[in-house]
A and B are shown apart, each in its own frame.
Chain A
Amino acid sequence: MENSGLNFILQAAFWGTVALTVAGAAIAIFPKNILYNVLGLALALTGIAGFYLFLGSLFVALMQLLIYVGAICIAIVFAIMLSRPLHIEAPARPTGKVLLGILASVVFFVGAVGVALKTKWTPAAGHVYKASQWSVEHVGDALLTRYELVFEVISLVLLVAIIGAVITAGFSRRISS
């Protein structure tokens, strides 16, 4: 870019976000304490929101923070508090299972990276990058015109999910009591 100082700061911030995200993901996976996992997930999700900012979409980044970090992580914390006494120790992890899991993940990672590197990515014919086109107005316009049906269906899915969650949780309580 034109300003190398700003560029350097941007680069540093980007890699910082990368480190944040990967660290958060690792915390979300490895510790045995489930509460640490949730905190790690929140960290990773925040990092991803940062990526969205780097990609130029403030709106989606805000949504990420709002929905994921704000709602889903809190819901998970609630579930933890409702379900599991924290002091109960989980049995040790079987080594074979861990090794197999690592193998599968590595296979997938290698495959995915291979695809990403080997493919020659070229922008599509009509591709332009203008910050104005990434604005909330455009997203809202698309949601209410082209993707209106999907939008409605998503809201319906959410409604069904809420009712289903209430019934699943509520009925089982009645059955067990």
Chain B
Amino acid sequence: MNSLTTYLIISALLFSLGLLGILQRRNLIGMLISVELLLNAANLNFMAYNRFVSPDPVTGQVITLFVMGLAAAEAAIGLSIILALYRKMHSINIEAAQKMKG
């Protein structure tokens, strides 16, 4: 079943799971994990398109590499924010962080 549609459906499934995690987890680290899932789903899409339809065999790989780099940066920043937040509020529950309420 090596076809583009298979990969697309798999990545959609991963993405939906990540979305579900982001929407209902209250643990900030859990949300971060879900974000990683989302990014990977997108990466998988890029690679699949690169393999099946792209005219240039390199672009998709390069984009995937870049997204990985960005994910590393995002993880570093996100984790340090979580740490800072934990020191401040002694909790990493997202529902506790409501200081910006309008």
In the complex they form, whether A and B have CB atoms below 8 Å apart is answered with yes
Contact B25 A29 (CB under 8 A): yes
Min CB–CB distance B35 → chain A (angstroms): 10
Contact B53 A123 (CB under 8 A): yes
Indicate whether A98 sits within 8 Å of B24 (C-beta atoms), given known contacts A56-B51, A162-B76: yes
Is A117 interfacial (CB 8 A cutoff)? yes
Binary per-residue interface labels of chain B (47-89) against chain A in the complex, 1 for a CB within 8 Å, 0 otherwise: 1101111111111011011101111111111011111101110
Per-residue contact bits, chain A 77-118, to B (CB 8 Å; 1 contact, 0 not): 011101110000010010001101110111011001101110
- Contacting B at CB under 8 A, from A41-71, are 41, 44-45, 48, 51-52, 54-57, 59-60, 63-64, 67-68, 71
Asked whether A134 and B57 contact (CB < 8 A) given A29-B21, A41-B37, the answer is: yes
Do residues B16 and A112 form an inter-chain contact, with CB atoms below 8 A?
A: yes
Whether A113 touches B12, Cβ cut-off 8 Å, given contacts A14-B1, A51-B44, A176-B88, is: yes
Q: Please state if B87 and A165 are interface contacts (CB–CB under 8 Å).
A: no
Q: Is the pair A116, B9 in contact by a Cβ cutoff of 8 Å?
A: yes
Interface of B is mostly: helix
For chain B, the bracket of interface size reads 35 or more
A72 touches B16 (CB 8 A): no
| One of B13, B17, B32, B61 near A134 (C-beta < 8 A) | B61
**Which of A15, A51, A165 interacts with B47 by CB under 8 Å?**
A51
CA A117 to CA B6, docked complex, whole Å: 9
Q: Is A80 within 8 A of B29, CB to CB?
A: yes
Inter-chain contact A172/B73, CB cutoff 8 Å? no
B16→A106 contact, CB < 8 A: yes
User: In the assembly, what is the distance between CA of A101 and CA of B4, in Å?
Assistant: 28
> A34-B30, A166-B80 provided; 7 other pairs, C-beta below 8 A?
A102-B24, A105-B16, A105-B17, A105-B20, A105-B23, A125-B55, A176-B87
- Identify the B interface with A (CB < 8 A): 1-2, 4-5, 7-10, 12-21, 23-27, 29-30, 32-34, 36-37, 40, 43-44, 47-48, 50-59, 61-62, 64-66, 68-77, 79-84, 86-88, 92-93
List 9 A-B pairs, Cβ < 8 Å.
Answer: A21-B14, A26-B17, A45-B36, A68-B71, A84-B29, A105-B16, A112-B12, A142-B59, A142-B62
Q: Lowest 10 CB-CB distances: which A-B pairs, in order?
A: A101-B23, A161-B73, A126-B55, A172-B84, A116-B8, A112-B12, A165-B80, A109-B16, A101-B24, A169-B80
